[in-house]
Amino acid sequence: MDKSTVHDKKKKKSGLMRDIIALVLKLGWIAITIAAAFMLILGIYVQHGEGMSPAFHNKDIIIYYRLSEEISSGDTIVYADGSGTLHLGRVIAVQRDTVDITADGLTVNGYFREEPYAHGSTVLVEGAGVTFPLTLQEGEYFLLCDDRTDVNDSRLYGAVSAENIKGKALILIRHRDF
């Protein structure tokens, strides 16, 4: 074997190694960019239980947008309760709205609320400490579960402040049992 053939083989190996290193570095930058997006812009929440059924089910994965500044009635959001535990809830009323729950049903600003996503009737929670009618202050939101038999919502906690809202649901990934 002559010297030029050996030299060509070494050159090909070093070129291949440079290409592999460049590919690994590019993949690393892509991974860092995706991780930064999830840490700063997006969040992941896994639904626990059937409280938001039928729209969301147990073990569904929700990707939420952390930077959403405008929250409207009907939005589905991820929020933290007083202990810091994350939950999924639907915004029923926003700041300066008045919410009332009576035997006749749920009213917001004196009007009965049509809720095609709700399952069951909206009832008061005995001994929860929330008094109705409730007028929301600046930066407060009233949240309910879609399954109204689950009372792990504003009927129990009261209004949720804007500081406790982690983000607005953006993408739903259904969990499938295989």
Residue 56's pLDDT is: 94
For residue 101, what are the contacts with CB-CB under 8 A and spacing of at least 6?
Answer: 107, 122, 123, 124, 132, 155
Q: Is the pTM of this model over 0.85?
A: no
Long-range contact set of residues 42-46: C-beta below 8 Å, sequence gap at least 24: 42/66, 42/167, 42/170, 43/78, 43/166, 43/167, 45/78, 45/86, 45/88, 45/166
DSSP string, 100-128: EEETTEEEETTEEPP-TT-BS---PPTT-
d(CA 28, CA 22): 10
Residue 4's pLDDT is: 55
List the pLDDT tens digit at each of the 178 positions of the chain: 555 555 555 566 678 888 999 999 999 999 999 888 778 899 999 999 999 998 999 999 999 999 988 999 999 999 998 888 999 999 999 999 999 998 888 999 999 988 888 888 888 888 777 899 999 999 999 999 999 987 789 998 899 999 999 999 999 999 887 5
